[in-house]
Amino acid sequence: KAGVTQTPRYLIKTRGQQVTLSCSPISGHRSVSWYQQTPGQGLQFLFEYFSETQRNKGNFPGRFSGRQFSNSRSEMNVSTLELGDSALYLCASTQDILNTEAFFGQGTRLTVV
Amino acid sequence: AQSVTQLDSQVPVFEEAPVELRCNYSSSVSVYLFWYVQYPNQGLQLLLKYLSGSTLVKGINGFEAEFNKSQTSFHLRKPSVHISDTAEYFCAAFENTGFQKLVFGTGTRLLVSP
């Protein structure tokens, strides 16, 4: 069974640009969550999707958005990139909203220059 | 709101020595507790979890943790560490409210030397 797949693994963008990150959950998993990891703030919750609906959102500006498709794949988008958006973005999938075990992908390392 | 505290940012230890990584949580509702490990340039791997029942939880790679409700702690232990255990360890919790939102501690870097 394939794990959580995040693409791309590494990304370099310029300030002001926008970026889209992709996450394919484990087959059969319907809930996808996103986290931002930085040295200063640690791991911070971004948002959670289930059945194409955003169920929960963390304390991030509106420049951070996401969506989930009918096949449970999810994308997150960051517009008007700032240097502080440089981080490792992690995606986690769980089987459903009642399941407690989250499986993480290897992350996308975003560098904003 | 819940929070998770890992007081030790770094724990150096010699190979084959025992280790304890400390984690304390605060929450007004019942919580589920987890320990994750992160190797360089990797995602998070679940070591073990406490949902309910026995307070001593055994995980992968010889790790175990004990849930202590009165002390609101969930410390991670291993009786004998290996060089390969060198990594970042995160304690995490989410409240039993149905949302898949994990709150993480700041992490503890375990450094195992020969």
Q: Give the sign of the dihedral formed by CA B34, CA A109, CA B109, CA A105.
A: positive
**Smallest CA–CA distance from B106 into chain A, residue:** A42
Region for residue B4 given its phi and psi (left: phi exceeds 0; alpha: psi -120 to 50; beta: otherwise):
beta
CB A32 within 8 A of CB A24: no
From the CA of A77, how many Å to the nearest CA of chain B? 19
Task: Give me the pLDDT at residue A1, please.
Answer: 65
Report chain B residues whose CB lies below 8 A from the CB of A90. Answer: 43-44
Q: Over 90: is that where the pLDDT of B48 sits?
A: yes
Chain B contact present for A108, CB below 8 A: no
Q: What is the mean pLDDT of chain B?
A: 91
CA nearest B45: which of B89, B4, B83, B98? Answer: B89
Task: Give me the pLDDT at residue B2, please.
Answer: 75
Mean pLDDT of B100-111: 91
- Interatomic CA distance for residues B75 and B77, integer angstroms: 7
- Interatomic CA distance for residues B92 and B90, integer angstroms: 6
Mean pLDDT of B63-83: 95
C-alpha radius of gyration, chain B, whole number:
14
Q: Over 70: is that where the pLDDT of B1 sits?
A: no
Mean pLDDT of A81-86: 97
From the CA of A81, how many Å to the nearest CA of chain B? 22
Strand pairing class (B73-78; B64-68): antiparallel
Task: Give me the pLDDT at residue A97, please.
Answer: 73
Mean pLDDT of B10-38: 91
| Total residues found in chain A within this entry | 113
Mean pLDDT of B59-71: 94
Mean pLDDT of A67-85: 97
- Interatomic CA distance for residues A24 and A11, integer angstroms: 17
Decide if A48 and B100 are in contact by the 8 Å CB cutoff.
yes
Report chain B residues whose CB lies below 8 A from the CB of A6. Answer: 43
CB proximity under 8 Å: B 23-52 to A: 32, 36, 41-46, 49, 51
- Interatomic CA distance for residues A113 and A85, integer angstroms: 10
Report chain B residues whose CB lies below 8 A from the CB of A48. Answer: 99-101
Decide if B94 and A33 are in contact by the 8 Å CB cutoff.
no
Q: Assign B75 to helix, strand or coil.
A: strand
Residue B113: Cβ within 10 Å count? 10
Q: Give the sign of the dihedral formed by CA B84, CA B54, CA A102, CA A80.
A: negative
Percent of chain A with pLDDT over 90: 87
Task: Give me the pLDDT at residue A95, please.
Answer: 86
Task: Give me the pLDDT at residue A79, please.
Answer: 96
Write the single-letter amino acid at B53.
G
Cis amide prior to B18 (ω within 30 degrees):
no
Chain B contact present for A58, CB below 8 A: yes
Question: Which of A43, A48, A107 is nearest residue B99 as measured by Cβ atoms?
Answer: A48
Q: Over 80: is that where the pLDDT of A107 sits?
A: yes
How distant, in Å, are the alpha carbons of A18, A46, A65, A76 from that of A62?
Answer: 13, 11, 7, 12
Over residues A85-104, the pLDDT tens digits come to 999 999 999 987 767 788 99
Q: Over 70: is that where the pLDDT of B29 sits?
A: no
Report chain A residues whose CB lies below 8 A from the CB of B92. Answer: 43
Task: Give me the pLDDT at residue B94, please.
Answer: 81
Report chain B residues whose CB lies below 8 A from the CB of A97. Answer: 98-100
Phi and psi for B103 in degrees, rounded to 5? -105, 125
